[in-house]
Structure 1
């Protein structure tokens, strides 16, 4: 996996995922995001979470958070090019659960970031989680 920065779309897998989101019909884009969250959360805490699956969930979480109060817009050229419809609020707790799993035990992506300067990356994921969790209470 090519990674060039710490943002949700700053790696090859997330950029490819953006293309998949764009290719889905507008009314199916929320389902693409939901599937990314489910793929991560279906993996038990005692099972190994592959980094490719994790980065898609992070990219999905960033897209959901962008529509929440306090969320940052996705402006990178590696994100989806097509506008997303208003996403259902029920995606927020799914995104939070997926991010918790990415930062949990047996997460390949977490292990990879901890081998380098992962504190800034983890802070970004926690910020994203905070936006999603806070929006879920409104």
Structure 2
């Protein structure tokens, strides 16, 4: 995987995914996002190296962009066509996929952990996760 930076689309796998998204119909884009997140969140083999991890991070970024606090996709390697509104169930699937990506034995996390840029990459993943699953305010009283 060629990596250019820590952003969700700053690697070859994610850039290829963005190109495929640009070529797909609206309905197919939703299916593509769901399929890649499902493969990473619920791998068939518990010891999987999760080859789709970069695509899942990119998919999570596309979903997060539609929520408050989510950053728009501005990478030159990201999709150029407008994204459809993603169904709510994909939000939870994206959270599960991000959680799986940052835990061993994913090759993506292992590669980043061997890099001096690991803290910045992990911060990028953490920011995506916070948008998708923001901390809940505690309430002193039941409403």
TM over 0.5: yes
**Deviation of 1:43 (Å):** 1.6
Q: Give the whole-Å Cα distance in 2 for the aligned partners of 1:106 and 1:48.
A: 7
Partner of 1:11: 11
Compare the two structures and name the one with the higher helix fraction.
Answer: 1
Tell me if structure 2 keeps the 8 A contact 1:14–1:56: yes
Task: Give CA deviations for 1:68-94 in whole Å, capped at 9, x if unaligned.
Answer: 000000011111111011111111000
Q: Does residue 67 of structure 1 match 2:66?
A: yes
User: 5+ residue gaps in structure 1?
Assistant: none
Partner of 1:27: 27
Matches within 5 A, 1:105-120: 105-117=104-116, 118-120=118-120
Partner of 2:140: none
Q: CA RMSD in A?
A: 1.5
Aligned residues: 134
Moved over 4 A (4+): none
TM-score by length of 1: 0.91
**Deviation of 1:42 (Å):** 2.3
Question: SS where residue 3 of structure 1 aligns?
Answer: coil
Greater C-alpha Rg: 2
Task: Give CA deviations for 1:36-74 in whole Å, capped at 9, x if unaligned.
Answer: 101112226841323x41000000000000000000000
Question: SS where residue 58 of structure 1 aligns?
Answer: helix
User: 5+ residue gaps in structure 2?
Assistant: 136-143
Q: Give the whole-Å Cα distance in 2 for the aligned partners of 1:45 and 1:61.
A: 22
